[in-house]
Amino acid sequence: MKKFCLDLTVVSVSKINDRYVLIKLTHNEELPQMEPGQFVEVRVDGSPTTFLRRPISINFVDRKNNQLWLLVATVGDGTHKMAQLKEGEILNCVLPLGKSFTMPQQQEKYLLVGGGVGTAPMLYLGEQLKKMGCAPTFLLGARSQKDLLELDYFEPLGRLFVTTEDGTAGEKGFVTNHSILQNETFDRICVCGPTPMMKAVAQYARQKNIECEVSLENMMACGVGACLCCVEKTTEGNLCVCTDGPVFNIKQLLWQS
């Protein structure tokens, strides 16, 4: 898939909560083709400690308004700098990078599981699945109600279930405890979030013999397979998360549980 290095223009930066911002970007030409699960490498200008581009998942591609959405967790200098961007400023992005989630060849029942900033790729994936006639079920987990992200955007795309660790929204507990997993079955599960959560969902999928893909969040630098800092040991040897992933079928991974 052809990659582009584009100067995108900031449309808006909205604070979602204390930790997350949603950055909407546009371009003076039509944005390139992008697939759910792919990511962009963002150049952060004006941050003396951020030398490398930052990998950020594609949250959504709004074709009607020619916008790319990035959901950013403000965890370091680079992402804090991004959160301070103003309308009209430029953000240089290399895109689209990495491999996407597997899309359906026929009617398939998808469960999309997201936790924390890992909910980001599920929005675009859900929208694309709905467009293809496979409206998915979402299961989103967070510590507390205030940590749940973009529920208003998820709601129109499929059935939406949530869990919170403190019980302030949805079922109390972790995504793997949710009753939907006991009461229903699915053809395919796509997961992105903290590694323990992805491993727990992968274990569930393995037990139930359900196809399952996870989006790994290994440390990345170059984003194009050159620096090898993102390598994951797999059944096929060492693979780069940035070019061979970030989406992997759990059968490729050496996860024991």
- Residue 225 found at the interface with ligand FES (CB under 6 A): yes
- Amino acid type, 67: Q
The one among 3, 229, 232, 234 contacting ligand FES by CB under 6 A: 229
The minimum distance between CB 242 and ligand FES, in angstroms, equals: 3
- 96 prior amide bond cis, ω within 30: yes
Region for 52 from its dihedrals, namely left if φ exceeds 0, alpha if ψ lies in -120 to 50, beta otherwise: beta
- Residue 220 found at the interface with ligand FES (CB under 6 A): yes
- Residue 222 found at the interface with ligand FES (CB under 6 A): yes
- Sequence-distant (6+) residues with CB within 8 A of 247 are 37, 98, 99, 100, 101, 102, 190, 213, 214, 215, 216
Q: What is the C-alpha end-to-end distance of the chain, expressed in Å?
A: 33
Measured from the CB atom, is 241 or 250 closer to ligand FES? 241
The minimum distance between CB 202 and ligand FES, in angstroms, equals: 22
Measured from the CB atom, is 94 or 200 closer to ligand FES? 94
Measured from the CB atom, is 6 or 222 closer to ligand FES? 222
The one among 5, 75, 132, 226 contacting ligand FES by CB under 6 A: 226
> Which part of the chain contacts ligand FES (CB under 6 A), choosing from 30-38, 69-77, 153-161, 221-229?
221-229
The one among 228, 233, 235, 238 contacting ligand FES by CB under 6 A: 228
Q: Are 35 and 127 in contact (CB under 8 A)?
A: no
Q: Alpha-carbon distance 110 to 156, whole Å?
A: 16
Binders of ligand FES in range 113-132 (CB under 6 A): none
CA 250 to chain centre: 17
Binders of ligand FES in range 176-195 (CB under 6 A): none
Token output for 181: 């997993």
Three-state DSSP at 28 gives coil
- 246 prior amide bond cis, ω within 30: yes
CA 131 to chain centre: 18
> Which part of the chain contacts ligand FES (CB under 6 A), choosing from 8-16, 72-80, 88-96, 218-226?
218-226
Binders of ligand FES in range 233-252 (CB under 6 A): 240, 242
Q: Alpha-carbon distance 182 to 64, whole Å?
A: 38
Q: Which positions lie near ligand FES, rule CB under 6 A?
A: 220-223, 225-230, 240, 242
